[in-house]
Amino acid sequence: MNIAQYKDIIQKNLEKYFEEYKKDSSYSSIIWESMAYTTLLDGKRLRAIMCLECAKSFGLEIEKAMPLACAMEIMHAYSLIHDDLPCMDNDDLRRGKPTNHKVFNEAIAVLAGDALISFGAQLIIDKLETLPEIKLEIVNDYLKCAGAFGIIAGQVADIEAENKEIDIENLKYIHKYKTGALFKCSMMIAAKLARVDSNTLFEIEKYADNFGILFQVYDDIIDCTLSTDEIGKTAGKDALVNKLTYVSAYGLDGAKKIFYSLKEQNHAILTKLDIKLNVFDEIYSILEKRIN
């Protein structure tokens, strides 16, 4: 299965889950419309794809891991909605479309993000077929990623760093949690569902941590090299607020060297684990085309 096929099946399952749960809910329809709006916008679906490919690499049928993959996309959508709010990054565009609070309103957008957190956890509890103790550990990992041990920790650190000079270690902390936590959780919960041994889990964690940094480096590069139309969100915002990025810290060439170094490290990890590289290499190829 390639990236395009993965994206298609993920999209269909997300639509199916939203339709199913919306029917069973007594909520006002607007909250479901807001929740679905950002989640179903066309995106790369990298977190879900990496979740499914990780599960597949360890012998699971992708259908078994689909609730996890969709839950990670739902969590990602929550983080995007909140990140775009006027009190956060105050952005008007996401994936080439108006941001959630522009389509609905700020209050509904906040509530939609909140609702998505619980919806993702509910999806795992309702739809994942595994032993109760494994499901509990996976839900625990999911909720940690969503909250103060994950995305929110990074977002708070990012807010506190505004208009301040920070060092590279601070920058790494911000992106380890704000960006990297989602990739790490996506792969770790898939590996745990497959019940891999502790050594393999350690290598998967290392891979995911590396990929989180690599993706942030990629994001920093395209923010200053591509247009708003090309990246689907407002370009050049980091420079406008004088934010420390991998590009401002290491220069464009230096940032690219970090990207390729992390790619090589991750290639070695997958080779060590005897995991097929096809889909992972396709992901890197998509990112590389945009930074070169």
Tens-place pLDDT, residues 106-129: 999 999 999 999 999 999 999 999
Helix (H, G, I), strand (E, B) or coil at 164: coil
pLDDT at 82: 96
Angle ∠(14,73,86) on CA atoms, nearest 5: 115
C-alpha distances in Å from residue 221, one per residue of 172, 190, 205, 254, 262: 16, 29, 25, 10, 15
pLDDT at 239: 66
Topology of the domain covering 3-291: Farnesyl Diphosphate Synthase (1.10.600)
**Residue 241 predicted with pLDDT over 70:** no
Burial grade of 122 (CB within 10 A; 0-12, 13-18, 19 or more): middle
The domain spans of the chain are 3-291
pLDDT at 240: 63
> What gap in Å lies between CA 160 and CA 281, rounded to an integer?
36
Could you give phi then psi for residue 89, rounded to 5 degrees?
A: -85, -15
Q: Are 116 and 100 in contact (CB under 8 A)?
A: no
> What gap in Å lies between CA 106 and CA 265, rounded to an integer?
42
Task: Average the pLDDT over 32-54 and give the result.
Answer: 96
Q: Are 58 and 194 in contact (CB under 8 A)?
A: yes
The HSE-up count of residue 244 (CA atoms within 13 Å, CB side) is 21
pTM confidence score: 0.93
Q: By percentage, how much of the chain surpasses pLDDT 70?
A: 97
pLDDT band at 37 (very low <50, low <70, confident <90, very high): very high
pLDDT at 53: 96
Task: Average the pLDDT over 61-82 and give the result.
Answer: 97
pLDDT band at 286 (very low <50, low <70, confident <90, very high): very high
pLDDT band at 227 (very low <50, low <70, confident <90, very high): confident
Q: Which of 199, 186, 163 is nearest to 54 (CA)?
A: 186
Average pLDDT of the chain? 93
Task: Average the pLDDT over 142-155 and give the result.
Answer: 95
pLDDT at 161: 84
Q: Are 268 and 210 in contact (CB under 8 A)?
A: no
